[in-house]
Amino acid sequence: MADEMLRVVEFYSGIGGMHFALKGCRFSGKVFAALEINTTANQVYQLNFGDTKLLQKNIEGLTVQDLDGLSPDVFLMSPPCQPFTRVGLQGASKDPRTRSFLHILELLPQLSRSPNYILMENVKGFETSDTREQFLHTLKACGYSYQEFLLSPTQLGIPNSRLRYYLLAKKKPLQFHFATRDEIMESFPYMITRDKCDNQCSDCGRDCVAEPGCTTNEVKPTGLLPASDCTVDSTHRDRHNTGCLKCLQAKVNVELKPVLDKYNPTNCRKIGDYLEKGNNDNYFEKYLLPAKVLSKFVLLLDIVNRQSARSCCFTKAYGHYAEGTGSVLKMADIDDTEIFERYRDLTDDQSKLELLSVLKLRYFTPREVANLHGFPSDFCFPTSVSVKQQYRLLGNSLNVHVVSELLNCLFQSPT
């Protein structure tokens, strides 16, 4: 599998987040076609992936022949999220912006060679929509097995919250290397090796982990796995499961501790690791919060500093609207507790602004947002794309590292 060059079709390609994720995973793949209707996003994509066939066309106009001609192994897609966001109308399948995705679902059963692999990303909220039900129904009808996830970059040690829905699908008889579940998983799947184990069941003497029928092969960040996750078919199920769990716990403590530590949200890196380096304060002046934002919204802002191990999700309205669109950075190396205590006692607006100015609050630059989203250092925007447009495009994008990890899980074959 690792030596095969997978043929990839990238729907809703945007600024290339899926493409970068594919390049960053352990498996070889090539995007044979990228489809995106947004002209500004296509300028960015073309600059970064000039050799890729980029089709600026409405997906609703695609035919079975169009897709069959590409002979795809993989579909990557991140359909419009507005129909499913909690701040939107949540029209789901009734929203016109969902039509293109529903069109893909209509085409999938008609393809003479449907893809072996599918990865889809969307906002939290998709999982409760009727569109999701149609998606799952189509996958089952077309012979796919699948697993759904709700994941955030914080689980990879990245100090940025961006909880998103993901679905991985494999066409049967291909199998996942981890045990799938009916419910949505909220952690990355990592397989425990099923080799012979020294811990044996005290009742029957059989090897606990290697017991046929046991599907407990996923490590949870919380450590001990509940007995309900094990499906050993024996007359002494509970006692045997206890032994099995002890064996698994030993493996977690010894062999897999580095993995669990890596994906522990408490071990996030610092914001300072993602900031632009080598620029003086003059460079960041254009990103300082305007006076009107400070005067009206300062108490509603999420303020972080270089030592913070978290930040809020950046949306497409970042830099335009203040509340709930992403964190702002305090550049001054001072404790702001006393500043805000004094601020609340002031009644004069000018005095308030003068007091707040010492904090040097600024927006994260587009490059810094891209860093937090996992875009590589060589990713860039055309000079013709404004800062406001850059924020919008990044807000509509995804976290590259999360998708790379999921692609590894998708393409990995069972051992």
Which residues are catalytically annotated?
A: 81
Burial (CB count <10 Å: 0-12, 13-18, 19+), residue 243: buried
The radius of gyration of the chain from alpha carbons, rounded to an integer in Å, stands at: 24
* Cα gap 310→190, rounded to integer Å: 25
* Cα gap 384→292, rounded to integer Å: 27
* Cα gap 351→205, rounded to integer Å: 77
Q: What single-letter DSSP state applies at residue 301?
A: S
Give which of 69, 89, 62, 72 is closest to 29, Cα–Cα. 72
* Cα gap 50→35, rounded to integer Å: 14
CA 70 to chain centre: 27
Q: What angle do CA 406, 81, 12 make, to 5 degrees?
A: 65
CA 265 to chain centre: 14
Q: How far is residue 103 from each of residues 18, 41, 99, 138, measured CA to CA in Å?
A: 20, 22, 6, 12
* Cα gap 281→380, rounded to integer Å: 22
DSSP of 40-82 = HHHHHHHHH-TTS-EE-S-GGG--HHHHHTT--SEEEE----G
Round to the nearest angstrom and report the end-to-end CA distance of the chain: 12
Q: Which two tokens stand for residue 5?
A: 């060059």
Q: Which two tokens stand for residue 170?
A: 């494999």
* Cα gap 175→144, rounded to integer Å: 10
Do residues 135 and 120 touch, judged by C-beta distance below 8 A?
A: yes
CA 271 to chain centre: 18
Across the strands, what pairs with 7?
A: 30
Do residues 328 and 302 touch, judged by C-beta distance below 8 A?
A: yes
Instruction: Tell me the residue type at 229.
Output: D
